[in-house]
Amino acid sequence: MANALVIDDNRQTADSLAELLKALGLQARAAYGPGPGMSILGGDVPDVVFLDINMPGVSGFEILSYIVREPRLAKVPVFVCTSDDQPKTRELALRGGARGFLVKPVMLDGLVQSLRRIGLSVS
């Protein structure tokens, strides 16, 4: 079973996305902000990360950069999940190494397509 990590400073959003992922057959863990997310990434290597961009302190772009540069995490696909659907934000995320860009609220069909695109089977 694939292991997903959701990093979002909004508990409700993080929990909702984690529950959707669980319903699709993944193990999912929610980290409520950049600090907890970085702590988890310091020890675990998830199969996929769903990452908010606009968070206090450390931005999602900084976490994305860390994941891409860290050798043990570099192959982990990251999907940016944000309510900021500006073309510039999308471009920065994809150029920064994100495998995809999902606009909040994340819809089930977009989530399924994203997971299938990286080779994960969903139920």
Within-domain flag for 111:
no
Q: Is 118 inside a domain boundary?
A: no
Instruction: Please check whether residue 2 lies inside any domain of the structure.
Output: yes
Tell whether 96 is covered by a domain: no
Local confidence band at 123 (pLDDT 50, 70, 90 cut-offs): confident
Residue 94 inside a domain? The answer is no
Closest of 5, 123, 117, 21 to residue 60, by C-alpha: 5
- Which range marks the domain in which residue 22 is found? 1-42
Beta strands at 3-7 and 100-103: parallel, antiparallel or unpaired: unpaired
Q: How do residues 59-84 score in pLDDT, each as one tens digit?
A: 999 999 999 999 999 999 999 999 99
Is 31 contained in some domain? yes
Alpha helices in 24-75 (DSSP H): 34-43, 60-69
Whether 17 is in a domain gets the answer yes
Spatial strand order in the sheet of 100-103? 27-31, 3-7, 48-51, 78-82, 100-103
pTM assigned to the model: 0.96
What's the domain count of the chain? 1
- 10 domain-assigned: yes
How many other β-carbons are positioned within 10 Å of the β-carbon of residue 41? 21
Q: How confident is the model at residue 33 (pLDDT cuts 50, 70, 90)?
A: very high
Start-to-end C-alpha separation, the chain: 11
